[in-house]
Amino acid sequence: MYTHPQRRSNELTQKLRNRAGNWLRDLRERRGLSQRELAAQVGAEYYTFISQLETGRGRIPPDRYLAWAHALGVDKREFVRTLMSYYDPVTYSILFDQPTEIKQGRAPTNGSSRTRKTNGSPHTGKTTRGRTLTG
């Protein structure tokens, strides 16, 4: 039976949110930002929102993805792709031809590890009608 991947009461969903929070915390710390500084850069009213996200108790609103990617120094597409692997793994697996780990009850690993290398250059694995696009 399919359960909605965005319901916090679901055990797998909570694991995914926790992993997303760990990933966000790691990005913030690598940039040398405090939670208050990041909150100011992304337009969050309260810095405690950052703490909530980092502990798996919330989601970044989609209309703020670009601000977050910029503040954390991450390519916007890679940022959104990684968040999607945590926030909506079913859609992620369809869009990026990844195995559906939800079926096995496992949370996806950090989405950035899904980028493959081809001929020494990053390859995002975008596909359209069965063809792989490089970009």
pLDDT in tens, 61-117: 999 999 999 999 999 999 999 999 999 999 999 999 877 555 444 445 544 443 333
Task: Give the Cα separation of 2 and 29 in Å (integer).
Answer: 36
Task: Give the Cα separation of 105 and 1 in Å (integer).
Answer: 12
Side chain identity, residue 70? H
> With a threshold of 0.85, does the pTM exceed it?
no
**Torsion over CA of 114, 120, 124 and 128, rounded to 10 degrees?**
-130
Query: Structural domain boundaries of the chain?
Result: 11-133
Tokens at 43, concatenated: 């337009």
Identify the pLDDT of residue 100.
54
pLDDT in tens, 4-62: 445 545 888 999 999 999 999 999 999 999 999 999 999 999 999 999 999 999 999 99
Helices (H), the chain: 11-30, 35-42, 48-54, 65-72, 76-87, 89-95
CATH number corresponding to 11-133: 1.10.260.40
